[in-house]
Structure 1
Amino acid sequence: MSETGMTETASRGSSPPVATMLPTVLLGAAMSLLILLTVSGNVLVCLAVFTTRRLRCFTNCFIVSLAVTDLLLGVLVLPFSAMLRLTDEWPLGATFCNIYISLDVMLCTASILTLLVISMDRYLAVTMPLRYTALVLPGRVVVAMASVWTVSLAVSFLPIHMGWNTSNGTVQNRGPGDPERRCRFELNGAYALTDSLVTFFLPLAVMCWTYYRILRIARAQARRIIVSRPACPVAGYDGRSNTPSIASTATAAVASVTAVALREHKATVTLAAVIGAFVVCWLPYFLLFTVMGVREQEEPGPEYQVVLWLGYANSALNPILYAALNRDFRSAYAQLLGCQWPRYREIWSRRPSPLEAGNQLTEVTLLCGHNAATCRAGLAEERHMLQEVNNRSTDIQLTINGSAATDVNGNER
């Protein structure tokens, strides 16, 4: 064979490996990006709470707990999941394989149950704002988080290391017939149905109900404020005397009604994004998980990895959905990242005007899962803002207090 022919043969022989490796390289890059976003986003949430005085509320421990859980998932689970997906081999032994699978189940369960606790905390903050600080006490917060981790441990390490999840009752990946360098998550019908019901379908039902009630109350409040504010408009001043200006009064009333309408629209979009992202990310996985368990399918198909990583993506979205949509967190992010944009400097430095005070407090309560009155710094600032409101306009104060004091049916207290 001539030298030219040998070169052509070698080039033809080297082409298939390059073509085969390209999808693997792209898949690895996508997984690495998701891991980076998960770790960096949740680290940013933790730093924002620990370095920003306004965010140091004990009820914000729900957000911090969610961030820590997703961070641990990004550090302890996702790199090994990526290695297993890319190489289709497990070189670390059966014992560590079961520990890895247990961590995966535990952290995903803890993340989902923490989302459930956040939804219940928001429900209490919106439906019972006057009793919220008496209901959500530090001890009860600790009990709620301890319950989350207890349930997470009960559905992960205990059944997997006792063999309750397998069809023959033996510990997975430890039997004599189990293949080497493989890491399999075995399922039986009882375990799959119990785990899916406790860790996803019941929390999903509760979250849908709580957010639906929150949305109804937000809309009812917005309608009442829009109807009532033109009747008691905010008086403006013409700058030349202390007499109210009719034009400025009308402008203030229209601006106030517009702000309420925009706030209600933002609440609707935010709650839809929260529940929509949760359903899109986790529903396909748990449906497939349940079907595999009922069928006792030993070898998952390629679709299992797709829906699994779709569920992992929820941990990268949580810092955006539960933190970055709040202006206090956005300002803290800007400070941590060293952003010098004028918009962020203005948000960070200026004190809210009396017209914005009610809207901001409602945004904290409705969209962020904590009440500003439970923070020491937030309580002082709230009192200062309400004092300004009282000095400048009694009507504004009555409107703010009337919009905040509602019961579960949306009626004023």
Structure 2
Amino acid sequence: MEMSNWGVTNTENLTIQYCFPDNNLSCSKSIRPEAEYIVVYIFVSVTSVFTVFLNLLVIVSISHFKQLHTPTNVLILSLAVADLIAGLILMPVQGMKLIEPCWYFGEIFCSIFPLILYVVGTASLGNLVIISIDRYIAVNDPLRYPLKVNNKRVVVSIVVNWLFSFVYSFYLLYESLIYPERNHSCIGECILYVKMEYLILDSFVCLVAPCCVIFSLYVKICFVANYQAKQLNSATDKKARSEKKAARTLGIVVLVYLLCWTPYYLATLSFGHDENDALVINIMQWIVCMNSLMNPFIYAMFYRWFRLSAKYILTLKILEPSSEYFSLFPEEK
């Protein structure tokens, strides 16, 4: 059984104190220069606030404006909810773990926090797989796309995805959740127990298999899109370009996700969550969380509707009567 250290770092060459000086069962902790704490806490605070703010913009935009109530955007909404949770909960705690060796959030949250991390990560990946399938159908069979894909079916797929993510994550972390006393040997420590076979299983379920599915779908999308570009006439060319652009943008989202998560899985399999490599694992987990900040920037770069909807929200035009019917695609007028 492997241990993932959620609260202990290397204390070599650093002053040693106790997490809870008044408790005889307290863990020891290293004291770093004050400047390090200030820099890390400012960085973590800024990135967390930006992540929450930007993903709220995505959520409000898609929820409020009627033009954005499409199957693809509903999937983006689900992804933004996962990113919002990451900004609210995961990023502050993960950022604190980079500099603070003690766990001050209690035994219960020590058990729940890894579950939140796994559920959010698995649900995000599930959203990306569904998005890839959605884009494949849109490009490969555009005429029957409205018949095959609608908001109701997408919502059902999202609910199933989140339920699966919770059940799967609970299965992986069952022992840690049922026996929280195993998560620490002293007060102020938070250790996650994960069997190596579960780490291998998780790497396959949440990295290898989805990568194969997503990669194969996007290869097919590229071939179909290029073929259609040569065959379509000018009347349908605009719609084809729009679908191709959407597929390319969401393909970038998928690529960024994989770039953020792959180092984490490689690190966990290589180090086995060894205590001596806790800092490396914490950094990899922080990179994973940073993915939640990157997605809104990708939308802003490639989606004009997001830039326009954000403008309406920030200038409070969203409060005007019938603002939900504002046009976000003026070129279509």
Question: Residues 46 and 68 of structure 1 are in contact (CA less than 8 Å); yes or no, is this contact kept in structure 2?
Answer: yes
> Are 1:63 and 2:76 an aligned pair?
yes
> Are 1:154 and 2:167 an aligned pair?
yes
Unpaired stretches in structure 1, ≥5 consecutive residues: 1-17, 165-169, 235-255, 341-346, 358-384, 386-413
Map 1:75-94 to 2 at 5 A.
75-94=88-107
RMSD: 3.5
Alignment partner of 1:201 out of 186, 203, 208: 208
Distance 1:180 1:328, change over 3 A: same
1:265: how far off?
9.2
The whole-number CA distance in structure 1 between the counterparts of 2:267 and 2:204 is 13
Summarize deviations over 1:64-97 as a string: whole Å, max 9, x none: 1111111112112222222333321112222220
Question: Residues 61 and 310 of structure 2 are in contact (CA less than 8 Å); yes or no, is this contact kept in structure 1?
Answer: yes
Residue identity in the other structure for 2:302: L
What's the counterpart of residue 219 of structure 1? 226
What's the counterpart of residue 313 of structure 2? 336
**Counterpart of 1:181 in 2: which secondary structure?**
coil
1:56: how far off?
2.2
Distance 1:143 1:162, change over 3 A: farther
What's the counterpart of residue 191 of structure 2? 184
Map 1:114-129 to 2 at 5 A.
114-129=127-142
Distance 1:140 1:282, change over 3 A: same
1:211: how far off?
1.7
Map 1:283-322 to 2 at 5 A.
283-293=262-272, 297-322=274-299
1:177: how far off?
6.9
Summarize deviations over 1:9-62 as a string: whole Å, max 9, x none: xxxxxxxxx992223322222222221121011100011112212112355321
What's the counterpart of residue 148 of structure 2? 135
Summarize deviations over 1:339-390 as a string: whole Å, max 9, x none: 99xxxxxx968842xxxx5xxxxxxxxxxxxxxxxxxxxxxxxxxx7xxxxx
Distance 1:158 1:323, change over 3 A: farther
TM-score by length of 2: 0.76
TM-score by length of 1: 0.63
Distance 1:211 1:265, change over 3 A: closer
Distance 1:273 1:130, change over 3 A: same
The whole-number CA distance in structure 2 between the counterparts of 1:272 and 1:137 is 21
The whole-number CA distance in structure 1 between the counterparts of 2:199 and 2:128 is 21
**Identical positions, percent:** 29
Question: Residues 284 and 307 of structure 1 are in contact (CA less than 8 Å); yes or no, is this contact kept in structure 2?
Answer: yes
Q: Which structure has the larger Rg? A: 1
The whole-number CA distance in structure 1 between the counterparts of 2:329 and 2:248 is 26
The whole-number CA distance in structure 2 between the counterparts of 1:22 and 1:176 is 31
> Are 1:95 and 2:108 an aligned pair?
yes
Alignment partner of 2:54 out of 41, 44, 59: 41
What's the counterpart of residue 174 of structure 1? 181
**Counterpart of 1:130 in 2: which secondary structure?**
coil
**Counterpart of 2:194 in 1: which secondary structure?**
coil
Question: Residues 183 and 191 of structure 2 are in contact (CA less than 8 Å); yes or no, is this contact kept in structure 1?
Answer: no
The whole-number CA distance in structure 2 between the counterparts of 1:331 and 1:144 is 29
What's the counterpart of residue 260 of structure 2? 281
Question: Residues 138 and 243 of structure 2 are in contact (CA less than 8 Å); yes or no, is this contact kept in structure 1?
Answer: no
Distance 1:57 1:273, change over 3 A: closer
Moved more, 51-60 or 262-271: 262-271
The whole-number CA distance in structure 2 between the counterparts of 1:66 and 1:184 is 29
1:163: how far off?
4.6
Unpaired stretches in structure 2, ≥5 consecutive residues: 1-30, 318-325
1:216: how far off?
2.0
Distance 1:133 1:154, change over 3 A: same
**Counterpart of 1:175 in 2: which secondary structure?**
helix
Question: Residues 261 and 288 of structure 2 are in contact (CA less than 8 Å); yes or no, is this contact kept in structure 1?
Answer: yes
1:261: how far off?
12
What's the counterpart of residue 322 of structure 2? none
Question: Residues 299 and 306 of structure 2 are in contact (CA less than 8 Å); yes or no, is this contact kept in structure 1?
Answer: no
Residue identity in the other structure for 1:285: Y
Residue identity in the other structure for 2:33: T
1:270: how far off?
3.4
Task: Give the number of equivalent residue pairs.
Answer: 296
The whole-number CA distance in structure 1 between the counterparts of 2:230 and 2:305 is 26
Question: Residues 90 and 181 of structure 1 are in contact (CA less than 8 Å); yes or no, is this contact kept in structure 2?
Answer: yes
Map 1:218-237 to 2 at 5 A.
218-225=225-232
Summarize deviations over 1:191-224 as a string: whole Å, max 9, x none: 1011121122211221112222222222222333
Q: Which has the higher contact order (CA 8 A, sep 6+)?
A: 2
What's the counterpart of residue 20 of structure 1? 33
Question: Residues 65 and 114 of structure 1 are in contact (CA less than 8 Å); yes or no, is this contact kept in structure 2?
Answer: yes
